[in-house]
Amino acid sequence: MKPFVPLLLILFLCTNIVSAYDEDDLEWACGNSKELHLGETISNGNFTVEACNFPRSDQNETRFVGIRLYENGIPVSDQTLVEGEDYIYDDEIRITAIEFSVPPSDWTTDLPEDPWAEIKMEPIGIPRFDVEFETDEDDYSASSPLIEMDITVQNTGDAEAHDVDIDVDTGGLEVIGGRAHQHCHSLEKGRRVDGDTDTPALDPITLRFDVPSVIEDTVFNISVTIECYDIRGVKYSYSESYPVKVRSMFSISKSINENIYIDEIATVTISLRNDGTRPINSITVSDTLPSDFELNGNSTLQWELDLGAGESRSFTYQLKPLQPGTEGYVIPPVVVRWADGGKRYSAQSDSPTIAVYGPKIELSKTVNPETIEEGGIATVTIEAKNTGNVLASVDVVDQLPEGAVLTDGVPGADVVLRAGETHTFDYSMKINSTGSVELPPAVAHFADTHDYGGTVVSDNISITVNQAVHPARTIDTPDQTIAAAATANATTRTGEESG
């Protein structure tokens, strides 16, 4: 049930309706009062009362107060009131002298030094209305049997309403039960309109509407207009509306498995339905492949169809997950387009979610430094990380390049990685060859407790090995000694010949 209570709004339409009444029949709203000293004022609405005189009492010890009444700041009446007396101006405001400052015996000779009188102002009572709407549903589909609405009208004002007319504008909905016009001779303040006078209870105004077939979501505004008169013949008008939503006769939904394992297949189902009373033709359906999934099959994710009145259709295709996702993947909505009556329409489904469980092992390999000399030492670091959401056993194996010699550590590891955990190990090797040496990728074999496993390899990397550079040195050999001796002998012989 959906109740709705609007704010009050009264529109005054002044008309002269011949109605016989006297002042005793008038009803007054709750007013305000104040002790007024000479020259002080009290206001209510457009009216203001000023205490302008405190005349001496006569021999009957009667007390008086002189007042001046203003309307919108303009003096309209001067009156003298005794205690308990009231004055009614133009059937709009009632002024009453409630109490004076001193007893009558002290008023007959000299006025008190600071006399006062308590003055009360009461505006004329007028009828006001609360209208409450209540429906059996928040909104309605084309397949709903009907729309039922209860309308409660209550006079919450300060006076009785006469000749009350209530008209309901259905906003385009067809009435199939109840009366859209109500009339009552009078409605006392606090009373409600009886929607069914054939029962002893005070019933709301109950209306039933046919549910129309609309091509798109449509809001129908149900308006209630109330017109009445007060006892003086003054007319009042009140209007309030309430929205009733009718959903499109065309509906579309998209669903997928709530969760799957990484090696399982998810099924997507697209459902379309025409709940209306006429066909919908040339419908095109377009879907989108979500990220981190691939199609399992050859679906184009595009369909065309017609839907007869009351007909439904569905399409399915399968998705294979590429990696786990515990928090869930949001699957894009399917978009539907069609034409009706020369206008083009479009709608889209909801976006379902799916959680994918399983391990995901990521493997990386680095070498440091990336450049060495022939016969130098390089350190290889391997990192295995489980970015999935299920524990897995991981066996990492690495190989040394040709010509390399292991100098420290072990080129492999066998570990168990929980979700989010990382294992890092390294080893050192000596490389005797030169040039760009390619390091074989590391390989990791993994398996979990659900008999799911696989193999991942790291990226290919390489290291640059430069040829070793040696400093220049002089080495004594037998040949060099002989050559030196021969040179010396030749020099000696030359000297002898000259001599």
Q: Could you report the per-residue pLDDT of 126-185, keeping only the tens digit for each?
A: 999 999 999 999 999 888 899 999 999 999 999 999 999 999 999 999 999 999 999 999
What is the rounded average pLDDT for all residues in the chain?
A: 88
> Would you say residue 469 has pLDDT above 80?
no
Q: What is the pLDDT of residues 316-367, one digit of tens each?
A: 999 999 999 878 899 999 999 998 888 899 999 999 999 999 999 999 999 9
pTM of the full structure: 0.62
Assign residue 430 a region: left if phi > 0, alpha if psi is -120 to 50, beta otherwise? beta
Q: Phi, psi (5° rounding) for residue 329?
A: -95, 135
- Residues paired with 408 in a beta bridge: 428
CB 316 within 8 A of CB 296: no
pLDDT (tens digit per residue) in 246-289: 999 999 999 999 999 999 999 999 999 998 888 999 999 999 99
Amino acid, single-letter form, for residue 151: I
Predicted confidence (pLDDT) at residue 7 exceeds the cutoff of 70: no
* Helical (H) or strand (E) element with 85: none
Q: How many CB atoms lie within 10 A of CB 146?
A: 12
Q: d(Cα 289, Cα 321) in Å, to the nearest integer?
A: 11
Nearest to 360 by CA among 318, 398, 392, 315: 392
Both ends of the chain: CA-CA distance in Å?
145
CA atoms within 13 A on the CB side of 65: 33
Could you give all domains of the chain from N- to C-terminal order, each with its CATH number?
2-10+127-246 (2.60.40.1530), 28-123 (2.60.98.40), 250-357 (2.60.40.10), 361-466 (2.60.40.10)
Q: State pLDDT tens for residues 25-71.
A: 999 999 999 999 999 999 999 999 999 988 766 555 678 899 999 99
What pLDDT is recorded for position 492?
A: 39
High-pLDDT (> 70) share of the chain, %: 87
* Ranges 9-23, 55-69, 418-432, 459-473, most confident: 418-432
Q: How far apart are CA 405 and CA 402, in angstroms?
A: 9
